[in-house]
Amino acid sequence: MAKKIENVGCPFCGVCCDDLVVTVSDDGKKILEVENACIIGSTVFHRAMEDRHTLPRLRQPDGTYKEISYDEAVDYTAKVLYNAKKPLIYGFGSTNCEGMAAAAKVAEKAGAVLDNCASICHGSSFLAIFDNGYPSCTLGETKNRADVIVYWGANPAHAHPRHMSRYSIFPRGFFTGKGHKGRKIIVIDPRHTDTAQVADIHLQVKQGHDYDLFNAFRTVVRGHDIPDEVAGIKKEQIIEAVEIMKKARFGTIFYGMGLCHSDGRNHNVDIAISLTRDLNDFTKWTIMAMRGHYNITGPGAVWSWQYGFPYCLDLTKRDIAHMNPGETSSVDLAMREEVDAFVNIGTDAAAHFPIEPVKNLRKHPWITIDPHPNMATEISDLHIPVGIVGVEVPGIVYRMDNVPIQYRSVIDPPEGVPSDEELFERIYQRLCELEAEDAAKQPAKAVPEGVRAGE
Amino acid sequence: MTPEYFEACSIIEMHDDDVKALGLVPNQLVKVTSECGSVIVKSVRGRQALYPGLAFIPQGVYANQIVPPRTQATGEPQYSGFPVTVEPAPEGERRKSTLELVQSAVGMWRGDQ
């Protein structure tokens, strides 16, 4: 009898579907069937056991990889971090919050820069939120109340496949009993995407001109006149969209990389937030970033609690954290060649950074911590395999609306393969040992007078 | 690194008018050049229509060969909205594997093993 496991969380995108049903074999080692997941999510489970390594691999002088023990890998990583002047630990889109907290301990001990994928994704959103606030909601509010939905520079049909059916367009909620029929959908994108296909209104904006269009929207909301055409969109269409938005009972703007990756970056987002605030003079509007990976919201939450900053954390001063994206962000650091060691964890920087920063980072030691081989492992000095969160390792993840969800494991990791959290705890222990060994070698420091308690 | 990844990512989608103007036949290889590099990809007809003058390469190893790393001091590279030229790929050019592209870029490519 195969075993059915219910309420399984999906470790892929920021929708964090937690209604999956996974059937595993009798011995609990094989995944046989995945129900309710989209094609991407089901692939994550079905391919979990493919192409796995059970031991770390260290690059040899001839360029090939040789398997080493976990103790040796931990020692190697700790020494790289200990000896580096300014190591960078980057990734974390795809691990649990426990792993992020443990990694932060390592970064603090090593005096590293600690950064996550927000840096190249919704980091623009953080910058805008710092400037302008975040009038948001949870996805349940949208499901139960929203009668107007805007997808601006986002394509959930491809990137968050069950977002529309779970939360925004199709579900029948408490005050939205008519489901899709009771909602107006506006999609703004330079392409006629599959999301635009289900929209009532598609505004095919000129790429990179979203700021102009937001300005036009805000101008109309405030009752002023606009030119006959803005950003490729006719005045009548803009007025029509704004009228729908002003008449909404409850609206949500979902936005994505169309704003964060184009010219203007954070300013596209901060004017989107300004529009949301303006609309609240008339009715209820909320805005939400379509966060990418299933737990990329996690490092923002965990590190804000630990250090007060969500990403681009410079911990090199050791007793005070500093954050200034543009200065302390991974790609900028790499472009200015300011880091001298790189740890890639729960991401694939080799595939998803532009190639120039990859070349610069590769001039120094590069360690990849990942369940599967990927581009980063294939240019690493060391690849340390770990368990897959959501499949083999349970833990807390944060959905795109900052709602924490407890993920469970459905099968065991391969024998001897640790979780990210266990691995980082071991690296932390080894760093403490290295520090103690160094301290023992040096002559004892005289204790400064007058600083001991009670004196 | 799978064949599916290769086929999904080593493509470019353009408007029919642009394809015609470039004199391309369906599924022809093209060379795409930006301010910071070039890459060989296959020109395909996408389902998600774009307007003339716009091109789309899925995020991945191929796109990132030509994505400008400039961040406007935000940490975010110019992943979207940068000028490129598209031309038919020179005779004898092929689409490289993901491994060959990335490992060659960092001087680790040892040929097909």
What's the angle, vertex CA A68, arms to CA A63 and CA A69, rounded to 5?
A: 160
Question: CATH number of the domain that B14 lies in?
Answer: 2.40.40.20
Going by C-beta distance under 8 Å and a sequence separation of 6 or more, which residues neighbour residue A447?
none
CB-count burial class (<10 Å; 0-12, 13-18, 19+) for A231: buried
CA distances from A399 to A18, A100, A300, A407, B64 (A): 10, 15, 12, 11, 27
Cβ pair A258:B110 closer than 8 A: no
CB pairs under 8 A between A and B: 133
Query: In this structure, what token pair is assigned to residue B40?
Result: 């060989």
- C-alpha span between A349 and A444 (Å, rounded): 42
Backbone angles phi, psi at A103, to 5 degrees: -65, -35
CB atoms within 10 A of CB B94: 9
The pair of structure tokens assigned to A271 is 């004017």
Predicted confidence at residue A455, as pLDDT, reads: 47
For residue A191, which residues of chain B lie inside 8 Å, CB to CB? Answer: 48-50, 54, 56
**Per the domain annotation, does B113 fall within a domain?**
no
**How far is the alpha carbon of B47 from chain A, nearest alpha carbon, in Å?**
8
Q: How many structural domains is chain B composed of?
A: 1
With contact defined as beta carbons under 8 Å apart, do A263 and A99 qualify? Answer: no
Q: Which residues of B touch A266 (CB under 8 A)?
A: 74
In a domain, B70, yes or no: yes
Instruction: Provide the phi-psi class of B45: left if phi over 0, else alpha when psi is between -120 and 50, else beta.
Output: beta
A284 forms bridges with which residues in the sheet? Answer: A250
Which residue in B2, B13, B14, B71 has the most chain A C-beta atoms within 10 A of its own C-beta, making it the best mutation to test that interface? B71
Residue B24 lies in a domain: yes
Beta bridge partners of B37: B34
Furthest-apart CA atoms within chain B: distance in Å: 42
Contacts of A433 by beta carbon, 8 Å cutoff, 6+ apart: A78
d(CA A383, CA A379) in angstroms, rounded, equals 9
Measure CB to CB from residue A355 to each of B79, B105, B110 and give the nearest one: B105
| A 153-182: CB under 8 A from B | 155
Residue B23 domain-assigned (yes or no): yes
Residue numbers in B near A193 (CB within 8 A): 48
- Residue ranges of A 190-219 with Cβ closer than 8 A to chain B: 190-194, 196, 204, 207-208
Nearest-neighbour CA in chain A from B86: distance (Å)? 18
Q: Which of residues 242-261 of A touch B (CB under 8 A)?
A: 257-258, 260-261
Helices (H), A84-209: 97-110, 123-132, 139-145, 156-159, 163, 194-197
Q: Do B98 and A260 touch (CB under 8 A)?
A: no
- Nearest to A276, CA basis, from A245, A230, A235, A241: A245
**Alpha carbon separation from B34 to A168, A263, B69, B83, B92 (Å, rounded):** 37, 16, 11, 6, 21
Q: Report residue A230 as tokens.
A: 């803005």
Q: Give the tens place of pLDDT for each residue, B46-104.
A: 999 999 999 999 999 999 999 999 999 999 999 999 999 999 999 999 999 999 999 99
Distance CA A130, CA A386 (A): 35
Predicted local confidence at residue A447, as pLDDT: 61
* DSSP, residue by residue, A294-324: TTSHHHHHHHHHHHS-SS-EE-TTSSS-EE-
The span from the CA of A435 to the CA of A443, in Å, is 14
Residue A1 buriedness (CB in 10 A; 0-12 / 13-18 / 19+): exposed
For residue A362, give the nearest of B60, B72, B106 by CB distance: B106
CB of A378 within 8 Å of a chain B CB? The answer is: yes
Among candidate residues A300, A348, A289, the one with its CA nearest the CA of residue A122: A289
Whether residue B60 is contained in a domain is answered as: yes
Residue B49 domain flag: yes
Cβ–Cβ below 8 Å for B64 and A353 = yes
- The residue length of chain B stands at 113
Q: Are strands A313-314 and A113-116 parallel, antiparallel or unpaired?
A: antiparallel
Contact call for residues A291 and A122 (beta carbons, < 8 A):
yes
- Residue in the structure block whose two tokens are 């901060």: A270
Distance CA A206, CA A190 (A): 6
Shortest alpha-carbon distance between residue B57 and chain A (Å): 13
Burial (CB count <10 Å: 0-12, 13-18, 19+), residue A144: middle
In a domain, B38, yes or no: yes
Q: Is A205 helix (H, G, I), strand (E, B) or coil?
A: coil
List the domain range (segments joined by +) for residue B46: 3-106
* Residues in Cβ contact with A13 at an 8 Å cutoff, skipping those fewer than 6 apart: A40, A41, A159, A160, A161, A292, A293, A294
A9-30: string of b/e by CB count within 10 Å (b at 16+)? bbbbbbbbbbebebebeeeeee
User: What's the rounded Cα separation, in Å, for the pair B53 and B40?
Assistant: 19
Contact residues, B window 24-63, toward A, CB-based 8 Å cutoff: 36-37, 47-51, 54, 56, 59-61
Q: How far is B73 from chain A (nearest CA, A)?
A: 4
A305 Cβ contact partners less than 8 Å away, ≥ 6 residues apart: none
> Tens-digit pLDDT profile for chain A (455 aa)?
789 999 999 999 999 999 999 999 999 899 999 999 999 999 999 999 999 999 999 999 999 999 999 999 999 999 999 999 999 999 999 999 999 999 999 999 999 999 999 999 999 999 999 999 999 999 999 999 999 999 999 999 999 999 999 999 999 999 999 999 999 999 999 999 999 999 999 999 999 999 999 999 999 999 999 999 999 999 999 999 999 999 999 999 999 999 999 999 999 999 999 999 999 999 999 999 999 999 999 999 999 999 999 999 999 998 999 999 999 999 999 999 999 999 999 999 999 999 999 999 999 999 999 999 999 999 999 999 999 999 999 999 999 999 999 999 999 999 999 999 999 999 999 999 999 999 998 876 666 666 555 54
Q: Can you give the pLDDT at residue A361?
A: 98
From the list A194, A258, A356, the residue facing B69 with the nearest CB is A356
- Residue B112 domain flag: no
What are the distances in angstroms from CA B48 to CA A134, B22, B45, B55?
31, 20, 9, 11
Interface pTM, i.e. ipTM: 0.97
How many angstroms separate the Cα of A97 from the Cα of each of A116, A303, A397? Answer: 12, 10, 6
pLDDT at residue number B74: 97
Distance CA B37, CA A341 (A): 25
Distance CA A356, CA A335 (A): 7
Contact B1 A329 (CB under 8 A): no
